[in-house]
Amino acid sequence: MTFDPFGDFATEGYLRNFERERDLAIVKRAENASFTTGLDQAFAHLAKSKVLTYDDVLTTHGILFGAVYPWAGQDRSRTAPTLTIKKGTVIFANAPEIRAAVEFALRKGQDKVYMKAKPGEILGYLAYGHPFLDGNGRTIMTVHSVLAQRAGFSIDWSATKKDAYLDALTGEIENPLKGHLDAFLKPFMRDSVAYEELATAIVQAPGLDGSVQDAELNEVLGTTEDPAVKAQYEAMLVKRNKT
């Protein structure tokens, strides 16, 4: 089953990509090409912003994936405002809560002391916000790399393992403030690298090569007004708020 929040996969392809391509392997290769070629521009844009804002996150996504998707740079409040999105066991923030989650992460992440002490917590809130239909992991990793660099460190993503990272990220989103992702990232914290080197560093992160694995695709859990979906979403919020 493919991810089809627009309901027009048969005619418009995967997520209405410009080529109307339905072969996910081809689309993912196009995503990867757009991402890798756009990284330098994305980092150049972020370098100009003294204070990173939600709009910077949107612009970053637009730069990284604008060659593939006409909606690149638009969050789910515009592209899927009435849908609840999940991946595996993780349910992400509904559209009205996306901006608040990301802005919280940006505010805390620009406190250099806090960012250095809690890099996983910051990344977890960015991931929970999940602003876009696709390209979230690469976009938030790009923004997170800048937050880290400004706080005086970098993450050696090339030394991490994809499955272990995803397990820690899942734990962080489902049970925030328990240190799941902080504990995972701490062994990979290094001295900060220059802006010019950030793109090279981030493409070495495992799992960003555009390979296709169905288990990694987003899913539409249902509409936000569906009673069963609403119950699952509210249970998720209760669980997060109890941590």
Domains of the chain, start order: 9-241 (1.10.3290.10)
Structure tokens at 59: 């612009």
CA–CA distance, 17 with 22 (Å, rounded to integer): 9
| C-alpha distance across the termini of the chain, in Å | 33
pLDDT of residue 234: 96
Structure tokens at 161: 């393992």
Strand, helix or coil for residue 46 = helix
As to burial, measured by CB atoms within 10 angstroms (0-12 exposed, 13-18 middle, 19+ buried), residue 76 is buried
Pairing of strands 153-155, 189-191: antiparallel
- Grouped pLDDT means (10 residues each) for the chain, 243 residues: 93 98 95 96 96 98 98 98 96 98 98 98 98 96 97 95 94 94 97 89 80 72 98 95 72
As to burial, measured by CB atoms within 10 angstroms (0-12 exposed, 13-18 middle, 19+ buried), residue 124 is buried
Residue with tokens 């708020």: 241
Under a CB-based contact definition with an 8 Å cutoff, are residues 138 and 208 in contact?
yes
Q: Collect contacts of 183-190 with beta carbons under 8 A, ≥24 apart.
A: 183/120, 184/120, 184/160, 185/119, 185/120, 185/123, 185/155, 188/155, 188/156, 188/157, 188/159, 188/160, 189/119, 189/153, 189/154, 189/155, 189/156, 190/153, 190/154, 190/155, 190/156
pLDDT of residue 206: 81
Structure tokens at 130: 């999940």
> What's the one-letter identity of residue 127?
A
Structure tokens at 81: 């405002």
The angle, 0 to 180 degrees and rounded to 10, between the axes of the packed helices 162-174 and 119-129 is: 80
pLDDT of residue 210: 63
Contacting residues for 103 by C-beta, under 8 A, at least 6 apart: 53, 54
How far, in Å, are 1, 33, 38, 40, 159 from residue 200 at the CA level? 34, 14, 12, 9, 14
